[in-house]
């Protein structure tokens, strides 16, 4: 009794001590160290603003899921096991006995949306734990947990929709709610896509209408290739329509927004331009080949080259995803060349035709552009690359035709 009443100081390396001590528990893939550290991260941010005892919050965050070491236990049974195991750990790491009951309360109150936490520390653990089950992190972890529990897709979907919504509705702090709403939209998009996928059919290829995008570095030979392809298709008797970005709609909207418009608006101007083209082309069914000079791939590349932080702009993934509403390319060919050769061509154009030099048209800028275009295949694995270094116009044209034949399974001569 005497010992329990005596104030004991918390060991100053509490987090490391607990993490080391709980290594022996097999918490399973979904509730392991990554999860505990994430929960602790959220919890300490909330503590920083809303107060509460840091030691209790730290211990509760790291010990709240020990019961998950037995995946057969759920709900109260799992929480009871967490408490039992946590008591042992707290004693071993010499946690102040006077604070132990508060840690236990946090663990007992943490994972039921209908429970009302009885202390600040409890409120914080509950919010922090729910936050670590949202967004992509939530999808990964919940999918793992569903598998660990030997349950299937239906149960996973129930957890991602019904249960996650209830958890979000029960959050205490406004920061948690804002974070949760943003992350939950990602989850809804995944669910929406999954549901649509149930009756998903393959896209229909219109044998008489192709949209070929030629994109890539400045000075790699895009315009020349487009001219050669255009002539070739016209000689075959096909209708050809050429599109060059940025188009008319882009220029009009940009002139309304002015030169200082933000990067996000700029990306949306391009998208608007492409959507407009899609609508315009609906009235031109006789055109069988659409040749585009540049596309959303350039938007994604140049956005990165401007060095705009993600919170101000949008990521290459988002730019590519947004393009779903625009005219879909049948194929995208990216031309790259050595930065030296590109610069030589750009300078020639500049001197002979007076075309002004772009911001990225330096050796360094072209090197970065080349790198970024090549890295777009991480996001878009169907991109086709042609390296035009040391190749003649005719060689590039032949190579492009081969790429088209091979990828579109079509013999244009027919
Ligand atoms: Fe948890």
What Rg do the C-alpha atoms of the chain give, in angstroms?
29
Interval between CA 92 and ligand 1 midpoint (Å): 22
* Ligand 1 centroid – CA 133 distance (Å): 8
State pLDDT tens for residues 289-307: 999 999 999 999 998 888 8
CB 95 within 8 A of CB 59: yes
Instruction: Report how far ligand 1's centroid is from the alpha carbon of 126 (Å).
Output: 9
Q: List pLDDT tens digits, range 166-187.
A: 999 999 999 999 999 999 999 9
Of 215, 225, 232, residue with least CA distance to 393: 225
Q: In this predicted structure, what is the pLDDT of residue 113?
A: 80
Residue 62 · residue 19 · CB < 8 Å: yes
Return the H-helix or E-strand segment holding 292.
strand 289-293
Give me ligand 1 centre to Cα 193, in Å. 27
Q: Give pLDDT, residue 355.
A: 81
Task: Give the pLDDT of residue 1.
Answer: 39
Is 106 within 8 Å of 119 (Cβ atoms)? yes
Model confidence over 341-396: pLDDT tens digits? 999 999 998 888 888 888 888 999 999 999 999 999 999 999 999 999 999 999 99
CA 301 to chain centre: 16
Average pLDDT of the segment spanning 213-234:
95
Q: Is the pLDDT of residue 4 over 50?
A: no
Distance separating alpha carbons of residues 194 and 176, to the nearest angstrom = 27
**Per-residue pLDDT at 68:** 85
39 CA distance to ligand 1 middle (Å): 7
Q: Is the pLDDT of residue 195 over 90?
A: no
Residues 6+ apart with CB under 8 A from 220: 335, 336, 337, 342, 388
Domains of the chain: 2-197 (1.10.3210.10), 210-408 (3.40.50.300)
Q: How far is the CA of 65 from the centre of ligand 1 (A)?
A: 5
Q: What is the average pLDDT value for the chain, to the nearest integer?
A: 89
Instruction: List 178's β-bridge partners, or say none.
Output: none
Residue 198 pLDDT exceeds 70? no
Q: How far is the CA of 333 from the centre of ligand 1 (A)?
A: 46
Label residue 402 by pLDDT band (50, 70, 90). Answer: very high
Q: What is the distance in A from the centroid of ligand 1 to the CA of 94? A: 23
């Amino acid at each position: 009794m005497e010992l329990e009443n005596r104030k004991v100081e918390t060991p100053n390396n509490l987090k490391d001590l607990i993490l080391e001590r709980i290594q022996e528990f097999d918490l399973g893939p979904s509730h392991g160290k990554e999860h505990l550290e994430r929960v602790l991260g959220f919890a300490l941010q909330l503590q920083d603003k809303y107060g509460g005892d840091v030691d209790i919050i730290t211990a509760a965050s790291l010990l709240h899921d020990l019961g998950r070491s037995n995946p057969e236990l759920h709900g109260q049974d799992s929480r009871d096991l967490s408490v039992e195991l946590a008591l042992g750990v707290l004693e071993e790491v010499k946690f102040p006995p006077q604070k132990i009951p508060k840690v236990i309360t946090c663990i007992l109150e943490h994972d039921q949306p209908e429970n009302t936490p009885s202390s600040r520390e409890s409120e914080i653990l509950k919010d922090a734990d729910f936050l670590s089950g949202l967004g992509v992190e939530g999808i990964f972890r919940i999918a793992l947990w569903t598998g660990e529990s030997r349950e299937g897709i239906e149960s996973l979907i129930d957890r991602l929709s019904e249960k996650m919504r209830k958890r979000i509705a029960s959050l205490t702090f406004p920061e948690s709610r804002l974070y949760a709403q943003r992350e939950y939209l990602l989850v809804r998009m995944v669910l929406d896509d999954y549901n649509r996928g149930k009756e998903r059919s393959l896209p229909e290829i219109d044998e008489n209408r192709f949209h070929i995008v030629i994109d890539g570095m400045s000075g790699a030979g895009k315009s020349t290739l487009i001219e050669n392809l255009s002539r070739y298709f016209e000689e075959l008797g096909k209708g050809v329509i050429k599109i060059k970005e940025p188009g008319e709609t882009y220029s009009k909207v940009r002139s309304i927004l002015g030169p200082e418009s933000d990067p996000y608006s700029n990306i949306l101007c391009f998208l608007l331009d492409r959507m407009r083209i899609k609508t315009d082309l609906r009235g031109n069914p006789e055109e069988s080949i659409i040749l585009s000079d540049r596309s959303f791939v350039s938007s994604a590349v140049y956005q990165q080259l401007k060095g705009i932080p993600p919170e101000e702009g949008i990521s290459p993934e988002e730019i590519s995803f947004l393009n779903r509403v625009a005219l879909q390319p049948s194929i995208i060919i990216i031309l790259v060349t050595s930065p030296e050769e590109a610069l030589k061509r750009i300078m020639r154009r500049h001197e002979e035709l007076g075309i002004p030099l772009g911001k990225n048209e330096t050796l360094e800028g072209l090197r970065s552009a080349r790198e970024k275009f090549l890295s777009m295949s991480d996001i878009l694995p169907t991109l086709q690359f042609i390296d035009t270094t040391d190749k003649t116009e005719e060689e590039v044209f032949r190579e492009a035709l081969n790429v088209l034949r091979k990828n579109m399974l079509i013999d244009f001569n027919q």
